[in-house]
Structure 1
Amino acid sequence: MTSPALQQAQAWAQERAAAAGSSFYYAFLFLPPERRAAITAFYAFCREIDDIVDEVREPSVAQAKLAWWRQQVALAFSPGRRADHPALVALQPHIPVYGLQPEPLLAVIDGCELDLQQNRWLDFAALAHYCHLVAGVVGEVAARIFGQTEDGTTAYAHRLGRALQLTNIIRDVGDDALRGRIYLPLEELRRFEVKPRELLTLGQEAEAGFEVRFEALMRFQIERALATYDEAVALLPAADRASQKPGLMMASIYRALLHELARAPRRVLRERVALTPLRKLWLAWKMQALGRW
């Protein structure tokens, strides 16, 4: 029988996932209740960690919060102990069911810590390492919860996590610039002759030809992200394609977002581009029912 504390934690995680308005939420809707509860709790944990970077302005406070979260993860994975935060309270019952380990959760925290330490990325190798921490390992955990049976699915899930994170970075160029952050590799900015100042001022202090240079940079980013989705799908073993449909739903939604961004890349400097909830639901259903983008 589920305890009242666990019921409250599960309800909180569900509300947290729904309130975030994420495309991930639409993929979760098609899962059986037990798996849906597990991935929702894990997603709520990831959102809480991510929000530390976005919402906590004082570095020492953010570091203290991350230290507390490390303690919470340790409690969640300690037999006979219980974490305090509802995200981990909701996740704990699923840990033995899906063979979850603490290392991926700690990696997510490491990624947040890296975010606090730097706001620029020298090259794509540095960005790929960041994506590994905040998205690749997240994909691996999700694949286990979705029902992974083949070892090869781990590589697929990790690459899919990278693709999703690259999409987030492309969509959020303007929002990140307002917070003084640039996730696009500096080496690639130089290649396309886009200056960091031009991004940070959203093109308001740009030199001649900025619009053409910026669009070329963004189309390069979009094409790489789309190729990363193709690489991920190519790595997915056929035996796990059915169980991994939630991840493929997310890929379908995010690929559609990339195509939307490709129509007018400069929009990211003016607004947060998003698909409508109805379109997200349609794309998720199409993958669930028809197995295609």
Structure 2
Amino acid sequence: MTDPHAYCQEKAASSGSSFYYSFMFLPPERRQAITALYAFCREVDDVVDECHDMQIAQAKLDWWRMQVAQIYDGAPEHPVGQALQQINKQFPLPREQLLEIIDGMQMDLQQTRYLDWKALQLYCYRVASVVGLLSAEIFGYTNRQTLKYAHDLGMAFQLTNIIRDVGEDARRGRIYLPIDELQRFNVPARQILDGQHSDNFRELMAFQTQRARQFYDQAFAQLPDEDRKTQRPGLVMAAIYRTLLDEIEADGFQVLDRRTSLTPLRKIWIAGRTWLRG
């Protein structure tokens, strides 16, 4: 029988994500809990990214909704569900928020374009801000203002992901950049789908980067001093992601034909330095 937490650990480690580096310094019980949450996010995200048959992907998301129900009311079959059920005793996670993450993945099945920032903001909230709110519950907080920080930090992370992955998403037929902003900067969708860089595209990406930085600044301004220590994993993640954003900008937003990334060693260095700063 698969050990649920060992499965989640392997899922997190194999992803190579910056999230993994952000909670490596946590106490064991909190690290186990956040790893289970992260593994859940990876599982449902993989449904959309790896399943090319829409009906099968829909069926898998529906199955994960049943798994969420079983976490709270029964016996989940999947190791990730089992791990979440175990950690839920110490770190109660709202059922509706786990379902909202699945709702975000559902949006990926139903649309490949977003009309404006308001429409994209709902997507970012579901797939990232909700994860931030759940993470804050696991890390611990005393001031509810910390939830505003967690919400905005999640938004900043997702915007950074969108900027980094423009080319990769376009090759899957998706453009997350709002349609009205493409029009404002005179960047036809076809140009992105064809991987054609231009000055207009760079100006569009500079605008998206400015928005992401505003959310980082907004998040940090809302983090109460008394919760700064417990919320260090988010600060670690932010340090890694902001460095990534700086690299993308310094490279002239060459995101259509490549995926900018930081080496594992650099991530560990940033993580350790940020953690020690508190």
Letter of the structure 2 residue corresponding to residue 197 of structure 1: R
Q: Does 1:216 align with 2:197?
A: no
Describe the SS at the equivalent of 1:267: coil
Q: In structure 2, what is the equivalent of residue 55 of structure 1? A: 50
Q: Does 1:273 align with 2:246?
A: no
Describe the SS at the equivalent of 1:184: coil
Letter of the structure 2 residue corresponding to residue 37 of structure 1: Q
Give the deviation of 1:88 after TM superposition: 1.4
**Superposed counterparts of 1:5-154, under 5 Å:** 8-78=3-73, 81-154=74-147
Q: Counterparts of 1:15 and 1:99 in 2: how far apart (Å)?
A: 23
Task: Report the count of equivalent residues.
Answer: 278
Describe the SS at the equivalent of 1:270: coil
Describe the SS at the equivalent of 2:113: coil
**Superposed counterparts of 1:192-207, under 5 Å:** 192-203=185-196
Letter of the structure 2 residue corresponding to residue 21 of structure 1: G
Give the deviation of 1:267 after TM superposition: 1.9
Task: Give 5+ residue unaligned stretches, structure 1.
Answer: 204-209
Q: In structure 1, what is the equivalent of residue 238 of structure 2? A: 251
Q: Counterparts of 2:253 and 2:104 in 1: how far apart (Å)?
A: 28
Give the deviation of 1:266 after TM superposition: 3.8
Q: Does 1:185 align with 2:172?
A: no
Give the deviation of 1:96 after TM superposition: 2.5
Letter of the structure 2 residue corresponding to residue 23 of structure 1: S
Q: Counterparts of 1:279 and 1:267 in 2: how far apart (Å)?
A: 21
Alpha-carbon contact 2:33-2:91 (below 8 Å) kept: no
Q: Which moved more, 1:63-72 or 1:92-101?
A: 92-101
Q: TM-score, normalised by structure 2?
A: 0.98
Over residues 138-188 of structure 1, what are the superposed CA-to-partner deviations in whole Å (9 max), with x where a residue is unaligned?
Answer: 100001101122111111101110000000000000000001100011111
Q: In structure 2, what is the equivalent of residue 242 of structure 1? A: 229
Q: In structure 1, what is the equivalent of residue 213 of structure 2? A: 226
Give the deviation of 1:99 after TM superposition: 2.1
Give the deviation of 1:264 after TM superposition: 2.0
Alpha-carbon contact 1:66-1:113 (below 8 Å) kept: yes
Structure 1 runs (4+) greater than 3 angstroms displaced: none
Q: In structure 2, what is the equivalent of residue 157 of structure 1? A: 150
Over residues 184-232 of structure 1, what are the superposed CA-to-partner deviations in whole Å (9 max), with x where a residue is unaligned?
Answer: 11111111100000001111xxxxxx51101101111111111110100
